[in-house]
């Protein structure tokens, strides 16, 4: 999860404090919000609308899209890594572990040399 958080942090910090999203990505997830110009915050999101050419570390920004009729669902590679880390962590915590059988214990007198 730390790697995903770091990737998101790098994308946000290098682009002025908000996660960039391109107009193309917004169009893939649904109708773009009205009255949002390039360089402005996209309402009800964590994103700022930027062209790809104006975006630093573009590959780390919100380039992936999920069709969702109720809200904008654009996400980044960092978000995917965070989700995967969360699933692994929950799996480790909630699922029973398979235990390896331990080797039989030998009496201490057999281990010493005669």
In the chain, domain spans: 2-91
Q: What is the mean pLDDT of residues 42-61?
A: 89
CA distance 57 to 73: 20
Using 50, 70 and 90 to split pLDDT, how confident is the model at 76? very high
Q: What is the mean pLDDT of residues 87-109?
A: 73
User: What's the pLDDT score for residue 98?
Assistant: 65
Q: Cα–Cα distances in Å, from 81 out to 4, 17, 56, 70, 86?
A: 5, 20, 20, 24, 9
60 has pLDDT over 90: yes
97 has pLDDT over 90: no
Full-prediction pTM beyond 0.95? no
- Mean pLDDT in the chain? 83
Using 50, 70 and 90 to split pLDDT, how confident is the model at 103? low
């Amino acid at each position: 999860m730390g790697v995903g958080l770091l990737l998101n942090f790098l994308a946000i910090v290098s682009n002025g404090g908000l996660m960039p999203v391109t107009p193309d990505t917004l169009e893939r997830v649904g109708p773009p919000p009205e009255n949002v110009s390039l360089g402005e915050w996209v309402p009800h999101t964590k994103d700022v609308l930027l062209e790809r050419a104006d975006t630093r570390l573009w590959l780390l920004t919100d380039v992936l899209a999920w069709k969702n009729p109720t809200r904008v669902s654009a996400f980044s590679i960092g978000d995917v890594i965070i989700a995967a880390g969360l699933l692994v962590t929950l799996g480790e915590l909630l699922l029973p572990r398979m235990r390896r059988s331990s080797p039989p214990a030998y009496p201490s007198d057999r281990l010493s040399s005669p």
